[in-house]
Amino acid sequence: MQGRLPGARMMAALVVVTGTLLVPQAASAAIGSVFGGDVSCNVQGDGVRFCGSSSPRSTTQTFDGVPIDVNVAFPPESAGMADGNYPLIMIFHGYGGGKLGLNTMQPFLDRGYATFSMTDRGFRESCGSAASQAADPVGCERGYVRLIDNRYEVRDAQEFAAKLADEGLVDPQRIGATGGSYGGGMSMALAALKNRMVLEDGSLVPWMSAGGKQMKLAAAAANIPWTDLAYSLTPNGSTLDYVADAPYEGRIGVMKQSLTNGLYLSGLAAPGFYASEGSDPSADITGWRNRLLAGEPYDSSVQGVLDEITTNHSSYYIDNSTKPTPLLISNGFTDDLFPADEAIRFYNRTRTDHPKADIAMFFGDFGHPRAQNKSDVTDLLEIRQKAWLDHYLTGAGEEPRQGVEAMTQTCPADAPSGGPLTAKSWAGMAKGEIRVSRGSERTIAPDSSSGGTFDPVAGGGACATTDGADIPGSATYRLDPAPEGGYTLIGAPTVIADFTLPGDTSQVAARLLDVGPDGEETLVARGLWRPASGGPTKQVFQLHPNGWLFAAGHVPKLELLGNDADPGGGALSSYGRASNDQQPVTVSKLKLRLPVLERPGALDALVKAPGPKVVPDGYELARDFAELPDPGAKVKGKLKVVGSKLKARVKCPRRFAACNDGTIEVRARRGSKGSAGSKRAGKRFKVAKGEFEAKGGKRTTVKMKLTRRARAYFKTHRELKVLAKVRTAERRGVWERKRKAVARR
């Protein structure tokens, strides 16, 4: 949904790729037109056949008669080879943009692809401009913007690809999709549908051409997309990055005011054609925006808006019984419009329901504002997109990396990004956890506001700084300064606390900041949340993920506010809309968890093993998180009794840097017989206890003094069934399964 947001630097409409699958050129060209002769083709100087026009337009009617402005191009004709049946790349533009031309298509054409691009209905020469409406007034009556509706814009793309297949020009089974922002949302929908199509009545049918050809999307590279448009524009905190399924549930969220207003205005200026307010409930962009701006209390009509957007305009809600096409999703850590959650939500569910799916994610400092779009990130992403599309469409190259790859945010703007960091899954990205607990009760004042420094539209970008003094009325929690070497946040900061919330119109705006030794602070992560009212109730929510190094001496600061808005600003300077009738919110027993790259035991045991996830009622852990190994030191093999000592072999996990301040406690398992005549026979009793230290991946022998009762037992017995609990500074222990303690005779 990328548009020209006033006062903000936007990234290029689409990341293009380069390659070397060159096609021999020939002087002649057999392809004279496409779409039944609607769009004529011309041979370029390099032999490329380009079908389309930049001025005034080159339109063809889609399935419901709306004229759509299109461009198509084919590689130069190859001597001795049949012309046609090319693999096809469909390239989609950002919000308010238009069809892509030869400059964007050329890298794909150089590698032997046919290319297609269209101006989505309602923008520019697809019924957005006055001239295009005058050229076909009947066709444009319903040609307004529909926000990537599965039944309209998505179907438009599928219908045009099918026509090219029926004309013998493209391979119906080798079709790829790519695009940025609005085009990323389109690519996501096409990937989720794969070989299916949604009709106007919402029914799902096979994607077939009019000539009876079975169509399929073979690969997609979706850049800075949304997967849940309602959540991305009005988040409520119901998304957690470790659950299997994260639909929009609970209270209606908080409007991202500056971004939503900026998009609305940029779409109109494109030019764009919005349906008149109230005329079409499925595309009432003006009415939806105005209702959100009016604010709380939200009634059933607003829920109806969210239901429409989730059902028909969000790839996450497309029936997922079919495994999606091979899919590379790239979202920006510093993108306040479509943050990393948009990829993770879709990824976790896909990995849970279709564990063999080909799916990968790429993160970094790129995308919509506040992003910096550093070249080292976008260049690497370009390479990954190229490899992904080439492999799954043409079989070129090795199978691309699955799982996750990330570049961390760095400041100042000219500093190189950190990374790349890689993991086989999102669950495996963070190795350890920094934790802090604050039991005292604090109150978030209704008028505590953030100001405009970090606003994505009117603010100073991802590296903006401001005075790190605490905001009056906020609930603020400071961690200790990072030790020498620092630590790297990689993932979503998690807040667990008891909240008391009167009324049902309030919100909590959360920000994680880096306060430097000079007292200046930089925004690291943020989130908008609607807690459940009443209480006190234990609740959990997350800020958007990021990758960020807290350098030595820098202080992580969590700030909970009544809103993330600029009290003195306008429509384009407040990230989150301030709620009507905001009430004081009481917070107690707060726990903050920061997922970090460092392994448990690092930094003198400051880094802990990741704690058990708080899974709210109705949710389940994502498969990758559920299958993580138990993160703790273990007793290995039998325990041996030698004289008055009990020896145990303990292993510190390889994924730990070290096991610090370790203890092992051994008790007789319930039901074991004590020494003869003991009144405590059949009761669990302490056998031994000892201490240890170990490096990650190493084993150590712990020698423990037997208790008097245990010594008495082993005078008459050789074997005892026991339970052992191993604890370290990085992890609270649990009683392990039964083991045997055997005395040497």
Average pLDDT of the segment spanning 457-468:
96
Q: Measure the CA–CA gap between 338 and 342, rounded to whole angstroms.
A: 6
Identify whether the C-beta of residue 132 lies closer than 8 Å to the C-beta of residue 67: yes
Indicate whether 680 pLDDT > 60: no
Average pLDDT of the segment spanning 343-356:
98
Of 115, 133, 116, 185, the C-alpha closest to 154 is: 185
pTM as predicted: 0.92
Q: Measure the CA–CA gap between 94 and 388, rounded to whole angstroms.
A: 21
Of 670, 649, 645, 665, the C-alpha closest to 721 is: 670
The pLDDT of residue 679 is 42
Judge residue 190's burial from the number of C-beta atoms within 10 Å of its C-beta, 0-12 exposed, 13-18 middle, 19 or more buried. buried
Higher pLDDT, 155 or 300: 155
Using DSSP's 3-state secondary structure scheme, residue 711 falls into helix
Tokens of 543: 């800020």
Indicate whether 331 pLDDT > 50: yes
Q: For the range 408-411, what are the long-range contacts, defined as Cβ-Cβ under 8 Å and sequence gap of 24 or more?
A: 408/333, 408/364, 408/365, 408/488, 408/490, 408/546, 408/547, 408/548, 408/549, 409/333, 409/334, 409/364, 409/365, 409/372, 409/462, 409/524, 409/546, 409/547, 409/548, 410/365, 410/549, 411/462, 411/463, 411/522
Average pLDDT of the segment spanning 7-15:
34
Indicate whether 41 pLDDT > 80: yes
Indicate whether 515 pLDDT > 60: yes
The pLDDT of residue 734 is 85
Indicate whether 457 pLDDT > 90: yes
DSSP per-residue string spanning 43-89: E-TTS-EEE--SSS--EEE-TTS-EEEEEEEEPPPPTTS-S--EEEE
**Low-confidence winner among 26-35, 166-175, 338-347, 499-508 (lowest mean pLDDT):** 26-35
> What is the pLDDT confidence band of residue 82, given thresholds at 50, 70 and 90?
confident
How big is the CA angle at 407 (ends 403 and 410), to the nearest 5 degrees? 160
Give the Cβ contact number of residue 130 at 10 Å: 9
> What is the pLDDT confidence band of residue 683, given thresholds at 50, 70 and 90?
low
The pLDDT of residue 54 is 79
Percent of the residues in the chain that have a pLDDT greater than 70, as a whole number: 94
Tokens of 243: 């659950």
Pairing relation of β-strands 520-529 and 465-467? antiparallel
For residue 141, what is the DSSP state?
A: G
Q: Measure the CA–CA gap between 71 and 105, rounded to whole angstroms.
A: 10
For residue 702, give the amino acid letter: V
What structural domains and CATH numbers belong to the chain? Answer: 33-428 (3.40.50.1820), 432-597 (2.60.120.260), 634-743 (2.60.40)
Identify whether the C-beta of residue 587 lies closer than 8 Å to the C-beta of residue 498: yes
Q: Which residue in this structure is represented by tokens 């006062």?
A: 7
DSSP per-residue string spanning 686-708: EEEEEEEEEETT-EEEEEEEEPH
Residues 6+ away with beta carbon under 8 Å from 265: 6
Indicate whether 678 pLDDT > 60: no
Q: In what order do the strands lie in the sheet with 465-467?
A: 465-467, 520-529, 508-515, 555-561, 475-478
Q: Measure the CA–CA gap between 650 and 692, rounded to whole angstroms.
A: 9
**Low-confidence winner among 316-320, 398-402, 586-590 (lowest mean pLDDT):** 398-402
For residue 386, give the amino acid letter: K
The pLDDT of residue 19 is 33
Look over the chain and give the mean of its residue pLDDT values, rounded to a whole number. Answer: 92
CA 680 from chain center: how many Å? 56
Tokens of 70: 């299109």
Cα Rg of the chain (Å, integer): 30
Q: Measure the CA–CA gap between 620 and 597, rounded to whole angstroms.
A: 25
> What is the pLDDT confidence band of residue 158, given thresholds at 50, 70 and 90?
very high
Residue 507 — φ and ψ, nearest 5°?
A: -140, 170
Average pLDDT of the segment spanning 686-698:
96
pLDDT tens digits for range 261-275: 999 999 999 999 999
22-50 per-residue burial string, b: 16 or more CB within 10 A, e: under 16:
ebeebeebebeebbeeebebebeeebbbb
Average pLDDT of the segment spanning 244-261:
95
Indicate whether 9 pLDDT > 70: no
For residue 93, what is the DSSP state?
A: -
The pLDDT of residue 261 is 96
**Low-confidence winner among 87-101, 366-380, 720-734 (lowest mean pLDDT):** 720-734
CA 582 from chain center: how many Å? 29
pLDDT tens digits for range 593-602: 999 999 999 9
